[in-house]
Chains A and B, each alone.
Chain A
Amino acid sequence: MTTLHILNAAPTQTSQLSSCLRVLSAGDGIVFCGEAVQALRAGSLAAQQLQGIDPSCKLYALEEDVLARAIDAEALPVTLLDYPAFVALCVAYSRVNSWT
Chain B
Amino acid sequence: MAKSVLLISRQAPWAGIGAAEALDIALAAGAFDLPLSILFMDDGVLQLLDQQQPQALEQKDLSANLQALPMFGIEQLYVAQHCLTVRGLADNPLALTAERVDDQRIQQLIRQHDYVMTL
Give the interface of A toward B (CB within 8 A): 1, 3, 15, 19, 22-25, 95-100
Judge if B55 is at the interface, Cβ distance under 8 Å.
Answer: no
Q: Are A97 and B118 in contact (CB under 8 A)?
A: yes
Q: Is residue B59 contacting chain A, with contact meaning CB distance below 8 A?
A: no
Chain B neighbourhood of A98, CB < 8 A: 117-118
- Residues of chain A within 8 A (CB-CB) of B116 are 3, 95-97
Stretch of B30-38, B68-76, B92-100, B104-112 with 4 or more beta carbons under 8 angstroms from chain A: B104-112
CA distance A95 to B42 in the complex (A): 21
Cβ of B79 < 8 Å from any Cβ of A?
no
Secondary structure call for the B interface: mixed
Contact with A1, one of B8, B103, B111 (Cβ below 8 angstroms): B111
For the complex formed, measure the closest distance between the CB of B10 and the CB atoms of chain A, giving whole angstroms.
Answer: 7
Contact flag A100-B18 (CB < 8 Å), given A22-B82, A23-B103, A23-B106: yes
- In the complex formed, the residue of B with least CB distance to A23 is B106
Q: Point out the residues of chain B lying under 8 angstroms from A15, CB to CB.
A: 42
Find A19's partner among B10, B115, B119 (CB 8 Å cutoff): B10
- Chain A's nearest CB lies how many Å from the CB of B47? 16
Q: Is B118 in contact with A95, judged by CB distance below 8 angstroms?
A: no
Residues of A within 8 A of B111 (CB): 1, 3, 25
Report how far A19 CA is from B116 CA in the complex, Å.
15
Whether B103 lies near A22 (C-beta < 8 A) is: yes
Contact A25 B110 (CB under 8 A): yes
Give 25 A-B contacts (CB < 8 Å), ordered by A residue: A1-B111, A3-B110, A3-B116, A15-B42, A19-B10, A19-B41, A19-B42, A23-B106, A23-B107, A24-B107, A25-B110, A25-B111, A95-B113, A95-B114, A95-B115, A95-B116, A97-B8, A97-B110, A97-B116, A97-B118, A98-B117, A98-B118, A100-B18, A100-B118, A100-B119
Q: Which 6 A-B pairs have the closest CB atoms?
A: A97-B116, A23-B106, A25-B107, A22-B103, A1-B111, A99-B118
How far, in Å, is B103 (CB) from chain A's closest CB? Answer: 5
CB distance from B32 to the nearest CB of A (A): 20
The docked-state distance in angstroms from the alpha carbon of A97 to that of B111 is 11
